[in-house]
Structures are given as structure tokens and as C-alpha cells.
Amino acid sequence: MNTLTLIGHVGNDATTNNVNGKQVINFNVAVTKRWKDKDGNQQESTKWFSVAYWNDGKVHEWIKKGTQICVMGEVGAKLYMNAKKQTEVQATVDANFIELLSNKKD
């Protein structure tokens, strides 16, 4: 079974597209890990995930930049060309469950 659970913050307002008559909601999620190094200095690392959520509802109206969200789904990857013309890999999630945990004002 290929399932991933993320808790992070939405990086952009969700967009919607219609593919073969079905609505897909797309947005990015940043997941940040924080720790102290051996010298006691605070460190952090952020990983970005591209999320596709197939849904006919209006949930996209609530998925705004800064919102904390839980996403569950199948993990994948896609290749893209960055601004320096280098090929990079981005983690993707084909979500089957999302839950809004807070909004940016909270």
C-alpha cells in the first residue's frame, strides 16, 4: 500500500480544473521539520508536495495560502525544469482525504 500522511501549510490558494468532466483541486503543501543541531542551534528543513484532490464540492474555496492542512493519499513524483534549467523532482500526492486544521488567522 502506497499511502502518505502530511500535516503542513498550504503554499498557494487552491486552483481548480476540469479533467474529463471531473473537478481536480491543485495546491502545494510545505512540511517543515525543526530540530537542534549538536551545538544547540535551531535548524529547519522544508519539503514541498504538489497535491491533486479530485472532488466535486467547493472545498477549494477554503484551501488558502497559509492554511494548516492534513492530506492523505498516494505518493508519487514528477520531473520539472527549475529556473536554472536544471531537472528537479517534486513529490506529488494524489489525495483521497484532506482536513483543514486551521486558517492563517488562527
Rounded to whole angstroms, the Cα distance separating 68 from 17 reads: 22
Segment 87-101 mean pLDDT: 92
Please name the amino acid found at residue 76. G
Rounded to whole angstroms, the Cα distance separating 98 from 22 reads: 18
The pTM of this model reads 0.83
Rounded to whole angstroms, the Cα distance separating 105 from 95 reads: 25
CATH code that applies to domain 4-35+43-98:
2.40.50.140
Q: How do the domains of the chain map onto residue ranges?
A: 4-35+43-98
pLDDT digits (tens, 9 = 90+) for 34-71: 999 999 999 999 999 999 999 877 888 889 999 999 99
Contact 28, 12 (CB under 8 A): yes
